[in-house]
């Protein structure tokens, strides 16, 4: 029996009240199903990440109990600490406790800093995020035009130079390039500031609102701190940007070469369409979808692969934090940082999927 609503003089059937809802019911059902599938995939992926990090922490040749009590502790002290840490319980129970603790935001306590790992990661991750974000912007804004230019001028000296630069980006070790950059642009020319995130004189002058020093300094009107932080950030971010633009330029060139060989591009040229329009509209538009995936993977790689750069530049980010934790056998910090990096990969990958579906509705 169809639903009907009577309000005084108004007598309206359900088909009149909800025509758009009825017409859009299939689309709404697909959207809800897609969202449900998205949530399930993310949840299962995150559960798998938790399992991997948990079992890595159990198989590495580091005793977390000794890291806490020290190697001079008695057997009674060792056993008491092991029981307090829950390591005497079955493995499946330990894993369930670990999952529950992570879901509550409890990643344990760091023996290196004597603070909660979650607080440490909230403090150091914005520094890595700031450097990696500037690096990917450099990689995209320079790498994409380089790849398009190399494909448009295939075989020319411009193409050869760009290919050599891309090869260098794959071949040169990050720590070596960082040391050379410091020696030339900081110690030699004095164009950039040295290691660290900001000079000692400016430390503590800006209250952390977002954790991103450039933004926080602008929020508080500390222009001197902004320019000092920018001077420290420029060189490590540029080096990261160089590695990302090498990958992005190479992939963009490959995608563009494939499109420039298609018949519709030849047809556009025969019709007299301007060359810049053929390249940037007809040929470039179809490669946006795979390029989103390339940029997303590159960005995630910068967020987790900046360990060497952060070490060379004494950058207080998650890579430096992870290195110190490994040297101190601080397994809570190591597993927490690994978990955050894995979660970043999952998040960026899913964002790339969403953008993929927006740019190419046929994939839905």
Residue with tokens 């989103």: 292
Residue range(s) defining the domain that contains residue 280:
117-363
Predicted local confidence at residue 134, as pLDDT: 92
Residue 94 backbone phi and psi in degrees, to 5: -60, -40
Domain assignment present for residue 94? The answer is: no
Predicted local confidence at residue 33, as pLDDT: 61
Counting the structural domains of the chain, the total is 1
Predicted local confidence at residue 287, as pLDDT: 86
Domain assignment present for residue 336? The answer is: yes
Domain assignment present for residue 85? The answer is: no
Q: pTM here?
A: 0.77
Strands 4-7 and 10-13: antiparallel
Predicted local confidence at residue 14, as pLDDT: 46
By the 8 A CB rule, do 325 and 337 touch? yes
Domain assignment present for residue 63? The answer is: no
CATH number for the domain including 124? 1.10.3720.10
The C-alpha R_g of the chain, in whole angstroms, comes to 27
pLDDT under 70 in the chain at which residues? 1-35, 37-38, 60-64, 67-71, 305, 359-364
Cα(69)–Cα(200) distance, integer angstroms: 35
Domain assignment present for residue 92? The answer is: no
Domain assignment present for residue 232? The answer is: yes
Please name which of 242, 213, 227, 208 lies closest in space to residue 315, comparing C-alpha atoms: 213
Predicted local confidence at residue 197, as pLDDT: 85
Predicted local confidence at residue 82, as pLDDT: 74
Domain assignment present for residue 185? The answer is: yes
Domain assignment present for residue 35? The answer is: no
């Amino acid at each position: 029996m169809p639903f009907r609503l009577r309000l005084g003089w108004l007598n309206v059937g359900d088909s009149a009240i909800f025509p758009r809802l009825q017409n859009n019911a299939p689309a709404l059902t697909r959207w809800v199903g897609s969202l449900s599938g998205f949530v399930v995939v993310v949840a299962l992926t995150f559960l798998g990440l938790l399992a991997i990090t948990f079992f890595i922490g159990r198989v590495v040749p580091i005793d977390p109990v000794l890291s806490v009590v020290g190697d001079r502790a008695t057997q009674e002290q060792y056993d008491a600490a092991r029981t307090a840490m829950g390591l005497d319980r079955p493995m499946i129970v330990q894993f369930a406790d670990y999952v529950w603790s992570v879901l509550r935001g409890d990643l344990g306590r760091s023996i290196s800093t004597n603070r909660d790992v979650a607080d440490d990661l909230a403090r150091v991750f914005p520094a890595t995020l700031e450097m990696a974000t500037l690096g990917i912007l450099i990689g995209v804004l320079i790498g994409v035009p380089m790849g398009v230019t190399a494909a448009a001028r295939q075989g020319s000296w411009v193409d050869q130079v760009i290919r050599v630069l891309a090869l260098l980006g794959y071949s040169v070790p990050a720590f070596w390039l960082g040391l050379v950059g410091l020696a030339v642009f900081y110690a030699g020319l004095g164009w950039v500031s040295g290691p660290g995130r900001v000079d000692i004189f400016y430390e503590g002058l800006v209250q952390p609102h977002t954790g991103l020093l450039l933004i926080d300094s602008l929020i508080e009107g500390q222009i001197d701190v902004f320019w000092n932080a920018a001077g420290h950030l420029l060189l490590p971010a540029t080096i990261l940007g160089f590695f990302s633009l090498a990958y992005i330029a190479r992939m963009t060139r490959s995608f563009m070469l494939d499109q420039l060989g298609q018949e519709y591009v030849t047809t556009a040229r025969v019709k007299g369409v301007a060359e810049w329009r053929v390249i940037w509209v007809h040929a470039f538009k179809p490669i946006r979808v795979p390029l989103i995936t390339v940029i997303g993977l590159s960005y995630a790689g910068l967020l987790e692969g900046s360990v060497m750069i952060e070490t060379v530049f004494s950058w207080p980010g998650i890579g430096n934090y992870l290195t110190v934790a490994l040297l101190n056998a601080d397994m809570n910090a190591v597993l927490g940082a690994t978990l955050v990096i894995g979660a970043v990969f999952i998040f960026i990958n899913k964002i790339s999927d969403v953008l993929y579906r927006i740019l190419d509705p046929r994939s839905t």
